[in-house]
Amino acid sequence: MKKMLCVVLWFLPVMLFAQSPFDGTWKTNMAESKLSQKPYIFSVNNGMYDCETCVPKINVKADGQDQAVTGQAYDTISVQVTDPNSIHVSLKKGGKTTADSTRTVSPDGKTLTVAGTNYPADGSQPYKFEVKYMRAGKGPAGSNPISGSWRIQNVNEDTAGLTTTWRVAGDEVSMSTPTGESWQAKVGGEESPVEGIYANETVSVKKMAPRQIEVTYKRDGKLYSVSKISVSADGKKMTEVADNKQTGRVSTFIDEKQ
């Protein structure tokens, strides 16, 4: 995902953003970004899939059938063991697939690869992703090899999933992506809806400095994440420190001006 003033400037919102350093299209450089190393913990054991670090936690049958869940951006999940070292996971919202992926553990059990496809809520072109993890801890005795504690190492994703376009006009900030997500919010104003996603989210924006803003997201009315987003002096790099308040993960994403 990323998911981005001295006193006198508080009285000059139009002048503040007349030549906004945020304006333009940006692409996340995952090689330069620093992802949270807080482990992901899940297991397949005794016919059940358990996600310890999901918020809220998930515990469903791993029988390949859609299982109802609550509190997620999706409302069903299906988990199926496809071979001794792999499982297939499919997520749906209102019967529509939001994402599906295959999780495969290496023969030595030390690395996990999650490869899959995201399906945007607005029906735009699906995009692929691949995530590599290193084992941080073992799963329950006798569980499927994919089970355990995993730290994320790197992410490869189609350009559509890494690209954002920002616009600032007066005291209004807008963000959009090729995958259909978008929002518009006034600096220091009320919460605005986030469009084109499966979750029920709102966003608000606060100015922090001439080249820095703070973007706060709420999901289902509850604080979800806070991003501090700043643009470098040369205007070529945008840094987002994303603090996910639900999962306790803090990641730094580096975006490059396109």
The residue ranges of every structural domain in the chain are 7-30+162-257, 40-159
pLDDT beyond 80 at 231: yes
Residue 7: helix, strand or coil by DSSP?
A: helix
Q: What is the Cα–Cα distance from 248 to 138, expressed in whole angstroms?
A: 22
What's the pTM? 0.90
Distance of CA 108 to the CA centre of its chain: 29
Give 245's pLDDT tier (boundaries 50, 70, 90).
very high
Give 18's pLDDT tier (boundaries 50, 70, 90).
low
Q: What is the pLDDT of residue 11?
A: 35
- Residue 92 corresponds to which tokens in the numbers above? 């749906």
- Residue 240 corresponds to which tokens in the numbers above? 């987002």
Mean pLDDT of 17-21: 71
Q: What is the pLDDT of residue 136?
A: 98
Mean pLDDT of 77-87: 97
Residue with tokens 């840094």: 239
Q: What is the Cα–Cα distance from 97 to 78, expressed in whole angstroms?
A: 11
Report yes or no: 189 and 173 within 8 Å, Cβ to Cβ: no
Q: What is the Cα–Cα distance from 18 to 30, expressed in whole angstroms?
A: 30
Summarize pLDDT for 125-178 with one digit per residue, the tens.
999 999 999 999 999 999 999 999 999 999 999 999 999 999 999 999 999 999
Q: What is the pLDDT of residue 6?
A: 33
pLDDT beyond 50 at 1: no
* Percent above pLDDT 90 for the chain: 92
Q: Which residues contact 156 (CB under 8 A, 6 or more apart)?
A: 30, 129, 130, 131
Q: Among 169, 155, 201, which Cα is nearest to 182's?
A: 201
What is the pLDDT of the chain when averaged over all its residues? 93
Summarize pLDDT for 97-112 with one digit per residue, the tens.
999 999 999 999 999 9
Residue 190: helix, strand or coil by DSSP?
A: coil
pLDDT beyond 50 at 13: no
Q: What is the pLDDT of residue 256?
A: 98
Mean pLDDT of 18-31: 92
Q: What is the pLDDT of residue 174?
A: 98
**Can you identify the CATH homologous superfamily of domain 7-30+162-257?**
Calycin beta-barrel core domain (2.40.128.20)
Q: What is the pLDDT of residue 3?
A: 43
Residue 142: helix, strand or coil by DSSP?
A: coil
Give 9's pLDDT tier (boundaries 50, 70, 90).
very low
